[in-house]
């Protein structure tokens, strides 16, 4: 989708006047580097084709009106007021509140959102909404914010207003990644560079059909465990553990949590030096095992789907992606075999009682990938 959400007339039909600014941002799929970002580690996301669009105009009502086109929901809120009941609206309100705290004179606004990014599956629909909102605000008010500042503000909105103590992975990906190459990001220094996918390989994202449960509470708990492990080891963050043997002295489950973070960081750095899709895929498989056994953020349905993907001859590697606890899996597949992999794996998954679906590439481009 390009341009403002829906035809411009939709904004005008909703609010009685045309939009004055628009912004958009993509969702992301993380190829490697899971639960490393809040440990100052390395991540390797790539943007997905699906984007979120936001359009705005200043109103003179003294409060904001927000309309979500695809959800068919209309919400009214004050930037500094209580959090709206509709969860998606807290991200928008949070971004405006963070901007205001940063000294931006945020007026009352009419806002329309339209999103193609699948929600609640680990593809960062919330970061896409945050970054699109802040980009739109930047355009509306002519703010001198760069893409990293936008990512940081989106992350603050998520932590302070949505209550998830997330790292910077999602917002940096929504703000800086593109769909053609992966983004290697050092989440401590924010140094980054683009990295090509291995030759003759493409990314496939499949939803397990299992909604993420307890995602934010279990997520915050994992983060607290990592912080505790770092404290016991006397380092600022797990990124600073000099040697993998050190974690062996930790009590369980901290030992396994820390081991995941250390081995996952190593996998990201190894992956960007990989010459072949086979080697890259093996690192994805190892990442899944580590997320399942050491970090314990998988669920049986994800394990089943990942095993089916890994067993397919045209798949180089597969793993759960995002925070875990349900949601989607990512696989690196042989180019030209995408449609066959998707069909074969989804049929086998259905026979085991699962109800999966392909999320990336988006359905309309699947035919050309066959
Ligand atoms: C969520 C968070 C990210 C990151 C991932 C796990 O997407 O928002 O900051 O921690 O989980 O890698």
Helix (H, G, I), strand (E, B) or coil at 350: helix
pTM of the model: 0.96
Q: How far apart are the first and last CA of the chain?
A: 22
Q: How far is the CA of 165 from the centre of ligand 1 (A)?
A: 9
Pocket of ligand 1 (CB under 6 A): 30, 34-35, 37-38, 166-167, 169-170, 322-323
Q: What is the pLDDT of residue 196?
A: 97
What mean pLDDT do residues 142-161 have?
Answer: 97
> How far is residue 3 CA from its own chain's centroid?
23
Task: State whether residue 121 is helix, strand or coil.
Answer: coil
Confidence of residue 191 (pLDDT cuts 50, 70, 90): very high
Q: 324: CA distance to ligand 1 center in Å?
A: 9
pLDDT at 7: 59
315-320/328-334 β-pairing: antiparallel
- Residue of minimum CA distance from atom 10 in ligand 1: 35
As a whole number of angstroms, the distance between CA 69 and CA 192 comes to: 34
Pair of tokens at residue 358: 């392909």
Pocket test for ligand 1, best of 128, 322, 324, 328 (most atoms within 8 A of CB): 322
**Ligand 1 atom having least distance to the Cα of 122:** 7
Mean pLDDT of 217-234: 96
- For residues 82 and 75, the answer to whether their CB atoms sit within 8 Å is no
41: left (phi over 0), alpha (psi -120 to 50) or beta: beta
Q: Which pLDDT score is estimated for 124?
A: 96
Where in the sequence numbering do the catalytic residues fall?
170
Q: What's the chain's average pLDDT?
A: 95
Dist. CA 34 → ligand 1 center (Å):
7
214 pLDDT tier (thresholds 50, 70, 90)? low
pLDDT score for 3: 47
Taking alpha carbons only, the member of 294, 322, 58, 326 closest to residue 164 is 322
Distance 38 CA to ligand 1 centre (A): 8
Residue having the nearest C-alpha atom to atom 1 of ligand 1: 323
Atom 11, ligand 1: residue with shortest CA distance: 323
Length of the chain: 370
pLDDT given for residue 368 in this prediction = 59
């Amino acid at each position: 989708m390009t341009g403002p959400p829906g035809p411009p007339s939709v904004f005008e039909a909703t609010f009685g006047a045309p939009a004055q600014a628009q912004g958009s941002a993509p969702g992301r799929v993380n190829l490697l580097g899971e639960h490393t970002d809040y440990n100052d580690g390395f991540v390797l996301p790539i943007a997905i084709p699906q984007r979120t669009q936001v359009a705005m105009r200043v109103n003179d009502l003294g409060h904001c009106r927000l309309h979500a086109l695809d959800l068919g929901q209309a919400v009214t809120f004050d930037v500094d007021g209580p959090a709206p009941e509709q969860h998606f609206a807290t991200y928008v309100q949070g971004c405006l509140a963070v901007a205001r705290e940063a000294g931006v004179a945020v007026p009352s606004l009419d806002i329309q959102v339209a999103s193609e990014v699948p929600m609640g599956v680990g593809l960062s629909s919330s970061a896409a909404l945050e970054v699109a909102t802040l980009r739109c605000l930047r355009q509306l008010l002519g703010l001198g914010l760069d893409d990293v500042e936008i990512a940081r503000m989106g992350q603050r909105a998520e932590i302070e207003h949505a209550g998830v103590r997330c790292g910077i992975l999602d917002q940096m990906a929504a703000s800086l990644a593109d769909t053609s190459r992966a983004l290697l990001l050092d989440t401590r220094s924010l140094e980054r560079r683009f990295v090509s996918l291995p030759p003759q390989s493409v990314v496939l994202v499949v939803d397990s059909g299992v909604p993420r449960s307890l995602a934010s509470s279990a997520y915050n708990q994992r983060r607290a465990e990592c912080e505790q492990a770092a404290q016991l080891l006397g380092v600022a963050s797990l990124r600073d553990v000099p040697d993998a043997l050190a974690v062996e002295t930790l009590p369980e489950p901290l030992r396994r949590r820390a081991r995941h973070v250390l081995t996952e960081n190593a996998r990201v750095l190894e992956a960007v030096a990989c010459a072949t899709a086979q080697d890259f895929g093996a690192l994805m498989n190892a990442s899944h095992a580590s997320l399942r056994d050491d970090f314990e953020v998988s669920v049986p349905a994800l394990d089943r789907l990942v095993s089916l993907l890994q067993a397919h001859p045209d798949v180089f590697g597969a793993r759960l992606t995002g925070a875990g606890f349900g949601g989607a899996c990512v696989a690196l597949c042989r180019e030209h075999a995408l449609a066959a992999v998707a069909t074969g794996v989804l049929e086998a998954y259905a026979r085991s009682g699962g109800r999966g679906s392909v999320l990336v590439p988006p359905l309309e481009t699947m035919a050309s990938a066959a």
